[in-house]
Amino acid sequence: MSKRELLDLLLENARYSTADLARMTDLDEDEVVATVEALESEGVIKGYQAVVDWNKVAEERVRASVELNVTLDRETSYGDIAERLAKFPQVTTLRLVSGDYDFEMEVEGESMQEVSKFISDKVAPVPEITQTVTHYVMDTYKDRGLQMSDGDDDDRLSVSP
Amino acid sequence: MKVSDRVEEVPPSGIRKFFELAEEMDDVISLGVGEPDFSAPWAAREAAIASLEQGKTSYTANRGRKDLREEISAHVAERYGLEYDPDDEIIVTTGVSEGVDVALRALIDPGDVVAVPQPSYVSYEPGITFAGGEPLPVPTSDDEFKLTVEGLERAGAADADALLYCYPNNPTGAIMTEDDLRPVAAFAREHDLTVFADEIYSELTYGHEHTSIATLPGMRERTVVFNGFSKAFAMTGLRLGYALAPPEAVAGMNRIHQYSMLSAPTTAQYAAIEALRNCEEEVAEMIGQYDRRRQFVLSRFDEMGIDCFEAEGAFYVFPEAPGGDDEAFAEALLQEHGVAVVPGSVFGEDGEGHLRVSYATGLDDLREAMDRIETFVE
């Protein structure tokens, strides 16, 4: 059994019980616990999160995808800028990317005003940042591999040959 | 209006009763389904949609599109070492069901005896009867649901004209390895049996590579191999299968096929070409999921103390019915706990005392169903 197999199962559903994981991988429960603990302590597993369809929650939740361009100097690297930005709790995802811009940043807030204010007050003033382009998320159809629609009713015959 | 004696002779499928019972109830978790719970890979569906958009709605060649037959030829050569000429040794059919039907009608004469391992897929014996043949059940429950020479001899298959089987097996999940097949092949050669090998579950084996009997010495010329897209590619509703056989057999099958079906569904043929070319990863992902569920289900039955044959193929396990009466157990389980499984006796007398449990169902439902079975058994 590979660590990869356990990781695949946890990616599929991090709430599988230890007993279920053991049954599916033909391992002892003790081995599952030990392997998952090792993966956690090695930092391979960074954490466990729910994938939420915010459309079904009454509270407003605003997400934006922000393109950032930066200029570097002798003292400042991409890593330095990323470290500074990643510390903001509003930033949920931050990646250095190739192409027309340097960083791709996802930001969450309670309202458009809050997100806008965060970009203008906290992000844009960072000296190395030369440009920000903010795209508000209008709807989410798929997130981390999970589709948000409910079109997966099982309409097979209940008993078939 | 009078129905023919040939049709009257065949009783209605035993599955029907359970289907009707399950349909009447709410909150049923069904482990009675003989088809994948996945959808066909998106690329295959997209190819089907594109073919419709382009107006490709005509008949195809009777034997199926040439490019599809070429893909099938390349696929079976690479996967199973089966070398068949796309021009005259492959025919594309409307599911394996049609393939088996036309093969039996093309190659069986009235009164011919066709040996069929039991328990077996529900359509085989009626299909033999409709073709004018006589089914000869070969019990396998004493041989871990595998065909053996001893079992064939006990059943009198040495005097039969043909052998029709499905491995990996529906309903037991048993497989036949190359070592298992060799003596059966020798038996078929010795007694001059035509072999109909339904290999629709060939992709769904766990821990073993599938071997086709047609690859064994002296077998290609006496074997019709059936396969298709329903199980591995989750394309049951597209109704597409194929048969591989020597030219004279394919020509005979095609003669019936061209007068009855004309050609298999065109849209499905486009989906199938794409499935063979570009959907290997999706198939591997589905097989991985089935294998995890298989281990889950086997492990739960083991914990409950229910004897369950260690199925290594298809997506079924075949545990013993606690108490021994499979029909009574399945009916009570359905009515009292809302879990549908299929009684083994539906698949022939030798399936009595067992249950077919399909794990082509999501893990959450499987867990809930197994919990309910555990409560019922306790």
pLDDT tens digit string along B104-118? 999 999 999 999 999
Cβ B34–A161 below 8 Å, yes or no? yes
Query: In chain A, what residues touch B295 (CB-CB under 8 Å)?
Result: 23-26
**Confidence at residue A155, expressed as pLDDT on a 0 to 100 scale:** 84
**Confidence at residue B277, expressed as pLDDT on a 0 to 100 scale:** 98
Which of A16, A158, A161 shows the shortest C-beta gap to B30? A158
**Nearest chain A Cα distance for residue B221, angstroms:** 30
Which of A8, A154, A159 shows the shortest C-beta gap to B340? A159
A62-87: average pLDDT: 96
**Confidence at residue A152, expressed as pLDDT on a 0 to 100 scale:** 66
**What's CA A129's distance to the chain center, in Å?**
23
Q: Express each pLDDT in A110-145 by its tens digit.
A: 999 999 999 999 999 999 999 999 999 999 999 988
Which of A13, A23, A159 shows the shortest C-beta gap to B295? A23
The answer, for B335 touching chain A at a CB cutoff of 8 Å, is no
Global pTM reads: 0.92
Q: Express each pLDDT in B202-237 by its tens digit.
A: 999 999 999 999 999 999 999 999 999 999 999 999
ipTM of the modeled complex: 0.84
Return the percentage of chain B with pLDDT > 90, whole number: 94
Q: Reply yes or no on whether the pLDDT at A60 is more than 90.
A: no
- Identify whether the C-beta of residue A32 lies closer than 8 Å to the C-beta of residue A25: yes
Query: In chain A, what residues touch B122 (CB-CB under 8 Å)?
Result: 161
The A-side interface with B (CB below 8 A) comprises: 8-9, 13, 16, 20, 22-26, 154, 156-161
| Among A158, A11, A18, residue whose Cα is nearest residue B361 | A158
Q: Express each pLDDT in B242-278 by its tens digit.
A: 999 999 999 999 999 999 999 999 999 999 999 999 9
Q: Express each pLDDT in B277-303 by its tens digit.
A: 999 999 999 999 999 999 999 999 999
The answer, for B237 touching chain A at a CB cutoff of 8 Å, is no
Instruction: Give me the phi and psi of A155, to 5 degrees please.
Output: -110, 25
Q: Reply yes or no on whether the pLDDT at B371 is more than 90.
A: yes
Cβ A159–B121 below 8 Å, yes or no? no
Written in H, E and C, the secondary structure of chain B is CCCCHHHHCCCCCCHHHHHHHHHHCCCCEECECCCCCCCCCHHHHHHHHHHHHCCCCCCCCCCCCHHHHHHHHHHHHHHHCCCCCCCCCEEEECHHHHHHHHHHHHHCCCCCEEEEEECCCCCHHHHHHHCCCEEEEEECHHHCCCCCHHHHHHHCHHHCCEEEEECCCCCCCCCCCHHHHHHHHHHHHHCCCEEEEECCCCCCECCCCCCCHHHCCCCHHHEEEEEECCCCCCCHHHCCEEEECCHHHHHHHHHHHHHHCCCCCHHHHHHHHHHHHHCHHHHHHHHHHHHHHHHHHHHHHHHHCCCECCCCECCEECEECCCCCHHHHHHHHHHHHCEECEEHHHHCHHHCCEEEEECCCCHHHHHHHHHHHHHHHC
Which of B33, B292, B363 shows the shortest C-beta gap to A157? B33
Q: Reply yes or no on whether the pLDDT at B11 is more than 90.
A: no
The answer, for B371 touching chain A at a CB cutoff of 8 Å, is no
**Confidence at residue B375, expressed as pLDDT on a 0 to 100 scale:** 97
**Confidence at residue A1, expressed as pLDDT on a 0 to 100 scale:** 56
**Confidence at residue A151, expressed as pLDDT on a 0 to 100 scale:** 64
- Identify whether the C-beta of residue B122 lies closer than 8 Å to the C-beta of residue B347: yes
Better-predicted residue by pLDDT, B111 or A151: B111
**Confidence at residue A59, expressed as pLDDT on a 0 to 100 scale:** 82
Q: State the pLDDT confidence band at B341, using cuts at 50, 70 and 90.
A: very high
Cβ A159–B15 below 8 Å, yes or no? yes
